Structure formats: C-alpha cells, structure tokens
C-alpha cells in the first residue's frame, strides 16, 4: 500500500515510473550484487540516465530539483531499495551524501567540474569521516592536513567508506588545526575534495561485507597526500557545520531505503503465505502468520508516512531535525521487525536460498542501524529535541 493522501498525483506517478524502471532494469542485476558481489556501477549508470541521481540537484548542473527534491529523492530511494540495498546505497551516497555538501558549499568551479558528471553517473562520489577511533563522535578526528605552499598535505586514514573502492572523488573531512591551536574540534575540521589519482592516496582494502553485498565499503589511506588548494570544500574549519547541514536529507534517504527493503520482504512473504500449504491449508489461514503480516503492513505504512513528512518538512525549508531522526530511527527498527517476520513466514525457503530477496533485505537491517549515525544516536537527537519543547 504505497498510495496515500500524503502523496500528490505527480509523486504517485513518479513512484510508478521508478518502480517500473527498477523492475525492468535493476531486478536483473540484483543477483550480480547479492551472489557475485559485483559493484553496481552499471546500475548506477542506468539510474543516472533516468535522472535518479539528480533528484536533489539544481537543473543548472543537470539535476531535476524543482522544489520537491527531497520528496522525489525519498520515492526514488524507496523504490530502488525495494530491488536491492547495495544498489540504492551506492546511488544515495554518490548523489546525495557526497553530492549535497558539494552542491551547498562547493565553489562554482567545483560544482561545474563534478556535479554534471555525478548526476550523469559518469563519476562516483563518496564521503569520508569515520576513522578507527571516530564513529558516532566525529569530534575525535585524527586525520590532519597542513598547508604547504599552494597545496594541502593530508595524512591519516578513513574506514568504512561506502563507494570507497570505486569512487572517483571523495569529500574527506579532517582536522586542519592541531588540538593546541583549536581545542574545539567543531572549529578545526575542514572538508577536501580528494580525487582518486591524487599522489599519496590509496584504497587500502575493501571490507568483506556481511550485508549490502556488492556494495563497496573501504579503508582509505592518505600518506602525504597532496591536495591542490582549490580542492578545499567551502571555508576552512567549517567542515563540521557542513556535515551537520546535510544530515536531515541523508536521514530521509536512509529512512526511505528502510521502507523499500522492508516492503520487498513483506511483499514476498505475503505472496508466499497465499501459496504455501501446511496442514491441508494455505498458511495465511493461520492467524500467527496473517496477524504477523498485518503488523508488518501497519508498521510499514507508519514508517513511510514519517518519511514523507520529514521529506516535505525539508522541502518546505522548515526545521526537520526531530521528524527526520524519528523517521530514520523508526525505519531501522521497523526494518528489523518486518524483515524478521518475513523470514519467519518463508521459514526454510528463505534461509536456504542465498539469492532470496527476503534474506538480503534482512541483512540490510544491521547496516541501516549503523550508517548515517546509529539508531541510538537518532534517539539521542529525538530526546534532545522533545525536551526543548519544555523550555
């Protein structure tokens, strides 16, 4: 049930178009990710060709955001995630997590250099914050860049970087002031656009993933990596603020992906419950089966409505901090419950089939608890926001 009064006719039409595209063009590529662990570069090109990497971007650079970019992005994210989690994460990270800070804070030259190619799927983007000692707390970054003539020299590493093994350009966030120079890390972090060919940059390795198979999550190393001065993103020491500014849009995309993965698992389970017979009847006749699926349908719709509200709040230029974290936190927990219920329904059938879409949606659930800030961190934000209303 994806139709709702909360979507306009135009948005419903977009959903139908993306769904038809994903079924025809992406579904045949799904097993290449899940079974062969092939990075979905071809899928990214196909999505870009349809304009799905340009939802949040200005038409000036080839995008198609005419004021409802976040809503459109959430519809695209949901429908692509329905087919495969790795394909959607690859798109979301390149087009939005990398693309948005560039679009918001990049210089005109930087935007002209990268955005049209990114939107066309000719280049892939990534964003690098996490380090061995830096997870939820971004203020502990150790990677450091110092100015030398008209270049910056970056040393350090980044871990768990989505698209890292295949990205052409990565926005890397690091300190540019030592702790002695600036104790407050929020005033010491700067973003740089690092291209894969820059001397001193290397992809150390890609992690063998236990979910999101086919996606690339890599460890990156910077050894005296030389970055031309004009690759600095926005202003020096404003990196932390840049990261915070994009979070709500990122969370809406992630929340929509949770809905997409879960809807697929639920749809497959619902159908199976009408086909499988035990004790001389269809298993849907057992209330434990049909009530479990009824719960799934309800939670799915609740997650979708939170997501659309968050997306519309962003498009209306209102503060979406609370609703975006609600949508994302609820989405991750809903995904865990719904994909588990779907597995229960298919039972041995899902567990013994490596290619099962239900199993692969289920393996996306832990990924979604962690990427883009853990569910605990979303709840911390929600708690901080709700208490503000008492002040």
List contacts with ligand FAD (CB under 6 A).
Answer: 93, 126-130, 135-136, 160-162, 212, 217, 367, 370-371, 373-374, 376-377, 380
Both tokens assigned to 120: 């066309």
CA separation for the pair 12, 14 (Å, rounded): 5
Q: What's the angle, vertex CA 78, arms to CA 334 and CA 65, rounded to 5?
A: 135
Between 7 and 173, name the residue whose CB sits nearer to ligand FAD. 173
Between 254 and 283, name the residue whose CB sits nearer to ligand FAD. 254
Between 129 and 185, name the residue whose CB sits nearer to ligand FAD. 129
Residue 23 CB, shortest distance to ligand FAD, in Å, is: 26
Between 217 and 258, name the residue whose CB sits nearer to ligand FAD. 217
Cross-strand bridge partners of residue 154? 145, 225
Report which of 251, 194, 245 is spatially closest to residue 224, judged by C-alpha positions. 194
Residue 370 CB, shortest distance to ligand FAD, in Å, is: 4
Q: How far is CA 336 from the centre of its chain?
A: 17
Cross-strand bridge partners of residue 189? 175
Question: 281: exposed, middle or buried (C-beta count within 10 Å: 0-12, 13-18, 19+)?
Answer: exposed
Residue 207 CB, shortest distance to ligand FAD, in Å, is: 8
Residue 10 CB, shortest distance to ligand FAD, in Å, is: 32
Please state at what angle helix 321-346 crosses helix 287-315, rounded to 10 degrees.
Answer: 160
Residue 374 CB, shortest distance to ligand FAD, in Å, is: 3
Residue 11 CB, shortest distance to ligand FAD, in Å, is: 28
Between 346 and 371, name the residue whose CB sits nearer to ligand FAD. 371
Which element (helix H / strand E) includes 192? strand 189-195
**Phi, psi angle pair for 315, to nearest 5°:** -65, -25
Between 75 and 161, name the residue whose CB sits nearer to ligand FAD. 161
One DSSP character per residue, 267-287 reads: HHHHHHHHH-EETTEEGGGSH
69: left (phi over 0), alpha (psi -120 to 50) or beta: alpha
Between 218 and 358, name the residue whose CB sits nearer to ligand FAD. 218
Which residue has the closest beta carbon to ligand FAD?
135
Residue 342 CB, shortest distance to ligand FAD, in Å, is: 21
Both tokens assigned to 32: 């290449």
CA separation for the pair 354, 34 (Å, rounded): 8
Between 100 and 269, name the residue whose CB sits nearer to ligand FAD. 100
Residue 341 CB, shortest distance to ligand FAD, in Å, is: 23
């Amino acid at each position: 049930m994806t139709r709702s009064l909360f979507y306009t006719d135009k948005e419903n039409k977009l959903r139908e178009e993306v769904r038809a595209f994903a079924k025809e063009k992406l579904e045949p590529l799904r097993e290449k990710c899940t079974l062969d662990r092939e990075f979905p570069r071809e899928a990214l090109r196909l999505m870009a060709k349809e304009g799905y990497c340009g939802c949040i971007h200005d038409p000036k650079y080839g995008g198609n955001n005419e004021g409802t970019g976040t809503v459109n992005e959430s519809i695209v994210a949901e429908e692509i995630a329905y087919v495969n989690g790795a394909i959607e994460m690859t798109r979301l990270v390149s087009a939005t997590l990398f693309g948005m800070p560039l679009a918001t804070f990049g210089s005109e030259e930087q935007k002209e250099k990268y955005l049209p190619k990114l939107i066309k799927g000719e280049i892939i983007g990534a964003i690098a914050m996490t380090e061995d000692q830096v997870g939820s707390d971004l203020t502990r970054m150790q990677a450091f860049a110092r100015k030398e003539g008209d270049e910056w020299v970056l040393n350090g590493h980044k871990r768990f970087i989505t698209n890292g093994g295949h990205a052409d350009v990565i926005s890397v966030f690091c300190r540019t002031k030592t702790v002695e120079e600036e104790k407050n890390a929020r005033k010491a972090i700067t973003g740089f656009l690092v291209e894969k060919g820059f001397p001193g940059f290397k992809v150390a390795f890609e992690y063998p993933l236990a979910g999101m198979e086919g996606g690339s999550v890599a460890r990156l190393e910077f050894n005296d990596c030389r970055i031309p001065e004009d690759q600095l993103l926005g202003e020096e020491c404003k990196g932390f603020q840049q990261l915070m500014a994009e979070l709500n849009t990122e969370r809406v995309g992630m929340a929509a992906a949770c809905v997409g993965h879960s809807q697929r698992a639920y749809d497959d389970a619902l159908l199976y419950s009408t086909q499988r017979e035990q004790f001389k009847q269809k298993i849907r006749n057992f209330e434990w089966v049909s009530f479990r699926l009824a719960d799934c349908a309800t939670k799915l719709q609740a997650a979708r409505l939170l997501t659309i509200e968050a997306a519309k709040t962003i498009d209306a230029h209102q503060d979406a901090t609370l609703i975006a974290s609600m949508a994302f936190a609820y989405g991750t927990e809903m995904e865990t419950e719904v994909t588990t219920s779907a597995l229960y329904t298919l039972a041995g059938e899902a567990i013994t089939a490596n290619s099962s879409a239900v199993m692969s949606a289920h393996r996306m659930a832990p990924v979604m608890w962690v990427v883009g800030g853990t569910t605990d961190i979303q709840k911390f934000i929600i708690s901080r926001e709700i208490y503000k209303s008492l002040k």
